[in-house]
Amino acid sequence: MLHDQHMHSHYSTDSKEDLKAYLDIASKLGINYFITCEHVDYDPPSFDKSWIADFDALRVECKSLMPLYPNITFLYGIELGYRPDHLDDMNNMLANHKFDLVQLSVHDDAVHDYYLKESFLDTYNDLCKYFDKVLEAISNFSNYDVLSHFDYGFKTARMVNKNENIKLYEDKLIKIFNKLIETNKTLEINSKVQSTINDDQYLRYILNLYYKLGGRKLTLSSDAHKVENYRLNFDKYMTIIKEAGFKYLCYYIDRCEYHFDL
């Protein structure tokens, strides 16, 4: 059974969930791997301090839990927020900690927090800037494995304008997808974002465009911040992904790519 590669615990600033709550479900389902990707975001504009997970403490807690779950292999991940003014900090974080998976995210541009609706009041122009920032991130920073929730900003803009049409941004999506393919990176389908957008035709459009361009590397993750969202709607989205022609999903151990056959 496919494990969830993107979730957060109390080591992330925006989650209070215990590791054990996730592990209990994973164990009952017979899942072989456990990983969280805790947040590291430097100087987020809506907060007065950086979000930096204590990965040393996380490893200590995981080590204490390992004997309780002998059939589960513990892996370690990070969700690293892109900031061009903190490239040295980003690289130092990766140099000082060993991860199995590095997810790259674009949460803000140092001024606008893309989680907030007020960042997309002019949805077309603001989304153009958002997608340009995503392209900038994957062009300027290469030490990552998976681009997380590339449509994080679109999800927020859709809350402002429910009629917002992703096809208006196809030229920008093509540039993003081509850069991922060129650099051999993986695209995340984030089930929490997809459930918020709540439009299966939107997802099919994204998958078909990526596939048409030659993209084959996907992950499916929940971005859970609480245990009830662990593996959120995985069966539904795996079916849609398979229908779009994809044969496998990627997962990572020691930053090496492995495949889960669909």
Question: Would you say 78 and 51 are in contact if contact means Cβ atoms under 8 Å apart?
Answer: no
Nearby residues of 54 by Cβ (< 8 Å), 6 or more positions away: 11
- Classify residue 8: in a domain, yes or no: no
- What total of structural domains would you count in the chain? 1
Summarize pLDDT for 117-158 with one digit per residue, the tens. 999 999 999 999 999 999 999 999 999 999 999 999 999 999
- Classify residue 214: in a domain, yes or no: yes
Residue 160 confidence (pLDDT)? 97
Residue 69 confidence (pLDDT)? 98
Write out the residue range of the structural domain in which residue 180 sits.
Answer: 19-261
Residue 110 confidence (pLDDT)? 97
CATH of the domain at 29: 3.20.20.140
- Classify residue 1: in a domain, yes or no: no
Q: Give the residue ranges of the chain where pLDDT is below 50.
A: none
Nearest to 224 by CA among 5, 7, 3, 4: 7
- Classify residue 11: in a domain, yes or no: no
- Classify residue 10: in a domain, yes or no: no
Residue 13 confidence (pLDDT)? 95
Residue 134 confidence (pLDDT)? 98
- Classify residue 13: in a domain, yes or no: no
| Burial (CB count within 10 angstroms: exposed 0-12, middle 13-18, buried 19+), residue 123 | buried
- Classify residue 7: in a domain, yes or no: no
- Classify residue 14: in a domain, yes or no: no
Residue 125 confidence (pLDDT)? 97
Report the chain's C-alpha Rg in angstroms.
17
Residue 72 confidence (pLDDT)? 98
- How many CA atoms within 13 Å lie on the side-chain side of 109? 17
